[in-house]
Amino acid sequence: MPKAGQRHRIGYALEPKKMQSFISPSLLDYASERGVDLIRIDPEKPLSEQGPFDCVIHKLYDPDWKIQLRNFSAKNPNVPIIDSPDSIEQLHNRISMLEVVTKLQISKGFKDIGIPKQVVVFDKEGFVDSVRGLKFPVLAKHLMANGSPDSHKMLLVFDNEGLEKVDTPVVLQEFVNHGGSIFKVYVVGENATCVKRKSLPDISEEKLKTLNGSISFSQISNLATSNAGCDEANVEKVEMPPLGFVVEIARAMREALGLNLFNFDVIRDSREEDRYLVIDINYFPGYAKMPSFESVLTDFFLEIVHEKKCKETGEVADDNVEDTNGEVLS
């Protein structure tokens, strides 16, 4: 806990929609009780004229904001910026995003981690050649994952005919049966919280023979209804990934990306029980959906401020700051 009267100022620069979901009364109240004040940053005004701040968190991508951050850091080199715009940009491209996973340094003895087979197609003429190495069905995802409306549009494609509705550039990702459940891992600094959610239903070889063309994700419910065997999967009974495995993957991914605030989606390959696949990574996700997000975020802010003060005073950081690292919840 902070000393009596000691306050820490965390500046945040977010789009209105993100601000509404993230800066909740429960977070403001909990943080305030721990001595942390969350201060809104107006991106329309010079950042150097706002503050002072002990830390700045943000999710803005326009060039003017990047210039503001650069100028602010030059004048305030000791104030942490969470996170670096250059590091965040890795997650704006679905190819570079998942390439990170293939290069993770994981301790021996852990379960297998990888990504689904995928290709990127830049023009319509490249479709036929590109899909030769993939097995239908495939997921068609926009190449850019920058939060724009188009970046969220996805198609489940069953054959070459279905590719005609796909716009380029696009990432084609082989669909992998995964028991109708997905694991979402929220990373906040050294904390990793895993939750399970309902996902797309499995598609049997027999069922695949009756499907053609493509369907959008808004129509996936139709597929689930017609594919009752997979739709009946009880997510509550799905076994969670081992705690140590989740924490190890989160640690390795955090180091590889150079990021503190992100989440990644993981599925368990139904063909291989011990094989997990990362299918997506998002920067600064909807933390309000994460259990105990108020305490996890506040602990993180206090850790950042603690490390900042240690650097300023030359002290060695200790482990006295409260945290909830490695918590896994269903």
| pLDDT tens digits, 94-121 | 988 999 998 887 776 667 899 999 999 9
Confirm or deny that 219 is annotated as ligand binding: no
Confirm or deny that 87 is annotated as ligand binding: no
| Phi and psi angles of residue 195, each rounded to the nearest 5 degrees, phi first | -130, 155
Please state, in angstroms and rounded to a whole number, the distance separating the CA atoms of residues 326 and 330: 13
Q: Per the omega criterion (within 30 degrees of 0), is the bond before 291 cis?
A: no
Distances in Å between the Cα of 139 and the Cα atoms of 54, 183, 252, 297 are: 42, 18, 26, 33
Residue 253's pLDDT band (boundaries 50, 70, 90)?
very high
Confirm or deny that 152 is annotated as ligand binding: yes
pLDDT at 322 over 90: no
Confirm or deny that 94 is annotated as ligand binding: yes
- For residue 227, the model assigns a pLDDT of 44
> Can you tell me the mean pLDDT for 159-188?
92
Chain-centroid distance, C-alpha 281: 4
Please state, in angstroms and rounded to a whole number, the distance separating the CA atoms of residues 291 and 296: 9
Structural element, H or E, at residue 189? none
Confirm or deny that 236 is annotated as ligand binding: no
326, with CB counted inside 10 A (0-12, 13-18, 19+), is: middle
> Can you tell me the mean pLDDT for 274-302?
95
Confirm or deny that 284 is annotated as ligand binding: no
Confirm or deny that 59 is annotated as ligand binding: yes
- For residue 26, the model assigns a pLDDT of 97
Domains and CATH numbers, the chain: 8-83+293-312 (3.40.50.11370), 94-283 (3.30.470.20)
Q: What percent of the chain has pLDDT over 70?
A: 87
- For residue 318, the model assigns a pLDDT of 58
Torsion of CA 3, 4, 9, 10, to 10 degrees: 60
The more confidently predicted of residues 233 and 276 is 276
**Which of 10-19, 137-146, 312-321 ranks highest by mean pLDDT?**
10-19
pLDDT at 298 over 60: yes
- For residue 109, the model assigns a pLDDT of 66
Confirm or deny that 167 is annotated as ligand binding: no
pLDDT at 270 over 80: yes
Confirm or deny that 184 is annotated as ligand binding: yes
Confirm or deny that 183 is annotated as ligand binding: yes
Give the least confident one: 62-66, 95-99, 131-135, 309-313.
Answer: 309-313
pLDDT at 2 over 80: no
Nearest by Cα to 147 from 239, 59, 57, 22: 59
Please state, in angstroms and rounded to a whole number, the distance separating the CA atoms of residues 51 and 85: 20
Confirm or deny that 282 is annotated as ligand binding: yes
- For residue 221, the model assigns a pLDDT of 43
Confirm or deny that 181 is annotated as ligand binding: yes
Confirm or deny that 280 is annotated as ligand binding: yes
Confirm or deny that 198 is annotated as ligand binding: no
Please state, in angstroms and rounded to a whole number, the distance separating the CA atoms of residues 220 and 215: 7
Confirm or deny that 182 is annotated as ligand binding: yes
272's CB contacts (< 8 A; 6+ apart) are: 112
The more confidently predicted of residues 320 and 213 is 213
CB 171 within 8 A of CB 95: yes
